[in-house]
């Protein structure tokens, strides 16, 4: 997070208060990042609104630029602007979709999480970050190369956010319930599952300097446990990641991030490993 030099902020002129811009100012105030404001629209001229926002930000000492663009969809517009401006983070306010609409159409924010190469921070609440809690969700049971790289990303960004907001970092790892049909006997008994995860967590704690009070190990599906612990900890922001499960053909994000998006009561930062980022950047370059 400290290495980010430019932040893309999605501006929605139809909404008076921009939670995304509020979070962007907090981060830029610490990292001295440049702010690039983007309106995704081709039906109305918003240059006056952008000019007003830029002038206010310049007066407050921020480095800022702005544009209005449209490339057929919100996620394509944001992704192309992120690439052309070299932004290391995209911030957008998330608004829950109508359940019926969500059942028929893939929500725009889901597509943004799937296809945007950079980390995406979806802002949901007015909850102050300062002196609060940051929750980082990892899968300690997966220790392959992609997951280890993703663990590094998640914990590094979690610590960065905690330092930025003078908050405390908590880490959650979910493990599966016993399955009598599991091929690996380890996953057939609750005691053996817990023992395996606790052994993995001891190594994890030593690697990332996380004490017992800030590490939470729980049995159950991640899409249930992450919102539950975010609520119990009053987390201001939750950091999650994804690795590709079926190759890169669809560049699909693991749907945990999508499923929990509306259930979470916190802001959410979604990260991808370098392998997926490279594929998405290539897709945009070819498009």
- 11, two tokens: 């501006």
State residue 191's pLDDT score.
Answer: 61
State residue 245's pLDDT score.
Answer: 44
Domain boundary among 123, 150, 165: 123
State residue 244's pLDDT score.
Answer: 46
State residue 140's pLDDT score.
Answer: 79
> Could you write out the DSSP letters of every residue in 33-102?
-EEEEEEE-SSS--HHHHHHHHHHHHHTT--EEEEEE-SSSHHHHHHHHHHHHT-SEEEEE--PPPHHHH
Looking from the CA of 188 toward its CB, the CA atoms found within 13 Å total 6
State residue 252's pLDDT score.
Answer: 40
71: containing domain: 6-123
State residue 175's pLDDT score.
Answer: 73
148-173 confidence digits (pLDDT tens): 788 889 999 999 999 999 999 999 98
Rg (CA), the chain: 20
State residue 260's pLDDT score.
Answer: 87
210-269 confidence digits (pLDDT tens): 999 999 988 888 889 999 999 999 999 999 987 644 444 343 444 677 778 889 999 999
State residue 177's pLDDT score.
Answer: 64
Do both 212 and 235 map to the same domain? yes
Residue 1 lies in a domain: no
Per-10-residue mean pLDDT, the chain, length 287:
89 87 95 97 95 96 98 96 96 81 73 92 93 92 74 92 94 70 46 71 86 89 92 96 52 63 93 85 84
Cα separation, 259 vs 268, in Å, equals: 12
Do both 116 and 146 map to the same domain? no
State residue 207's pLDDT score.
Answer: 87
Cα separation, 222 vs 34, in Å, equals: 35
Contact assessment for residue 122 and residue 43, using Cβ atoms and an 8 Å cutoff: no
pTM (2 d.p.): 0.89
Looking up residue 235, the CATH number of its domain turns out to be 3.40.50.12370
State residue 203's pLDDT score.
Answer: 82
Helices then strands, counting H and E runs in the chain, come out as 10, 10
Q: Which residues contact 63 (CB under 8 A, 6 or more apart)?
A: 28, 32, 33, 34, 35
The H-or-E segment that residue 8 falls in is strand 6-11
Give the chain's end-to-end CA distance (angstroms, integer): 28
State residue 254's pLDDT score.
Answer: 47
Do both 137 and 260 map to the same domain? yes
Residue 139 lies in a domain: yes
State residue 190's pLDDT score.
Answer: 55
State residue 62's pLDDT score.
Answer: 98
Strands 120-123 and 89-93: parallel
Domain boundary among 123, 151, 178: 123
Do both 170 and 144 map to the same domain? yes
């Amino acid at each position: 997070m400290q290495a980010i030099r430019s932040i893309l902020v999605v501006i929605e002129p139809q909404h008076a208060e921009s939670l995304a811009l509020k979070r962007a100012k907090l981060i830029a105030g610490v990292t001295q990042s440049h702010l690039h404001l983007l309106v995704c629209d081709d039906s109305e001229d918003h240059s006056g609104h952008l000019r007003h926002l830029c002038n206010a930000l310049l007066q407050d000492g921020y480095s800022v630029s702005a544009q209005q663009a449209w490339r057929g969809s919100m996620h394509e517009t944001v992704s192309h602007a992120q690439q052309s401006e070299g932004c290391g983070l995209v911030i957008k306010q998330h608004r829950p979709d109508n359940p019926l609409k969500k059942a028929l159409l893939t929500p725009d924010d889901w597509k943004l999480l799937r296809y945007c190469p950079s980390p995406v921070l979806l802002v949901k609440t007015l909850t102050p970050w300062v002196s609060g809690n940051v929750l980082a969700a990892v899968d300690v049971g997966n220790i392959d190369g992609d997951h280890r790289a993703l663990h590094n990303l998640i914990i590094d960004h979690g610590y960065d956010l905690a330092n930025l907001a003078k908050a405390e970092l908590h880490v959650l790892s979910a493990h599966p319930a016993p399955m009598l049909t599991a091929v690996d006997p380890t996953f057939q008994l609750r005691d053996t599952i817990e023992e395996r995860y606790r052994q993995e967590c001891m190594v994890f704690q030593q690697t990332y300097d996380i004490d017992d009070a800030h590490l939470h190990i729980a049995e159950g599906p991640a899409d249930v446990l992450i919102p539950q612990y975010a609520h119990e900890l009053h987390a201001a922001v939750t950091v999650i990641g994804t690795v590709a499960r079926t190759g890169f053909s669809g560049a699909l994000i693991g749907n945990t991030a999508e499923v929990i998006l509306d259930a979470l009561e916190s802001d959410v930062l979604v990260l991808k490993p370098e392998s997926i980022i490279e594929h998405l950047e290539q897709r945009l370059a070819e498009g």
